[in-house]
Amino acid sequence: MRKYYVQFDWGQKRLGFATAAQAVQMPAAPVHVPLSKRELSFEETVEAVNKGMQKWEARLGKDDPVVIDDYMNAQYYGEIGVGTPAQKEMVIFDTGSSNLWVPNTRPFLTSHNIYDHSKSSSYKKNGTTFAIQYGSGPVSGVFSADTVTIGDLQLKDYTFAEVDKTSGLGLGYRLGKFDGILGLGWDSISVGGVPTPMNALVKSGQLPEPVFAFYLGNNQPGELVFGGVDPKHYTGDFSFVPLSSESYWEIKLDGVKLGSDSVSSTKSAIVDSGTSLLAGPKSEIAAIATKLGAKSILGKDGTWWTAVPSCLISPSPWAARTLP
């Protein structure tokens, strides 16, 4: 399977795709944030898929609140600092949402890092209620302002949320290695209308270019670059695709093929770093699954398919979730 290095161009409102490769030169100016990966157990994967379905169903509704993406099955996370001195937080960098939140309360029998504003000399009280609906339950807390550090970048007096209710995230959060979410989506889906992290970084003048780029390592650490791209992770030139919406990173599709066969009439898709599942209309996913000889493993046709027989412990590399 061909792997791509993806550039999210905030300034030009477009996505760039280049063939992933190894090169020799490291750029000096952009800021590099290491990304770690945690493999999920089979049980955690199944729960993440179930909650992912609820997320996608909610996203289809016209009056639904902003939804946190299915990061329980996307275990790439990196370190940021919040406060002065900086308090370590491990966050999912999520292009499917637009707010930064970190926990201020540690769930029972977990080892999550928490943010304690009483230990920060740069903390400023806000107190406005923050709430995001995630699938089966809410995540909520209050807005605050403090210094946020991402690699060598600093955002002073940045408005984010400190969260004390995370029960809606279920087992995936309790067992996960990440503490919070740093949204990299657009302003239109920012809860409370607060500036998004990327918007704040661009306006601060700290980035050489208004772009960021993901390299997700295969069984090894990955990397997120702010302010440019890393030439050691790709070869050739980028092919750019304009955005069709400034909410999620949404692009138009010309089509989807399996071999030489067209398998989808869907005309748009979201490039979402907060989920590792493919999602699509029920009939189209079912057709793809049939062509691959895949089976449903959750006891309900059209929910999740795997190319591995359901009696096996490990899920296959190919998985998809249907939309109603």
Provide the annotated active-site residues.
94, 272
Q: Which residue has the tokens 């995370």?
A: 166
Q: How far apart, in whole angstroms, are the C-alpha atoms of residue 37 and residue 76?
A: 5
Helix (H, G, I), strand (E, B) or coil at 39: coil
Report the chain's terminal Cα–Cα distance, integer Å: 28
* β-strand pairing of 100-103 with 180-183: antiparallel
**Positive or negative: CA dihedral 114, 153, 246, 234:** negative
**What DSSP designation does 232 have?**
G
Q: How far apart, in whole angstroms, are the C-alpha atoms of residue 225 and residue 168?
A: 30
Residue 301 is encoded by which pair of tokens? 């046709």
Q: How far apart, in whole angstroms, are the C-alpha atoms of residue 210 and residue 199?
A: 9
The full DSSP string for 28-72 is SSSEEEEEEE-PPPHHHHHHHHHHHHHHHHHHHSSSPPPB---GG
Residue 205 burial (CB < 10 Å; 0-12/13-18/19+)? exposed
Residue 203's CB is within 10 A of a number of other CB atoms, namely 12
Partners of 251 in the β-ladder? 243, 269
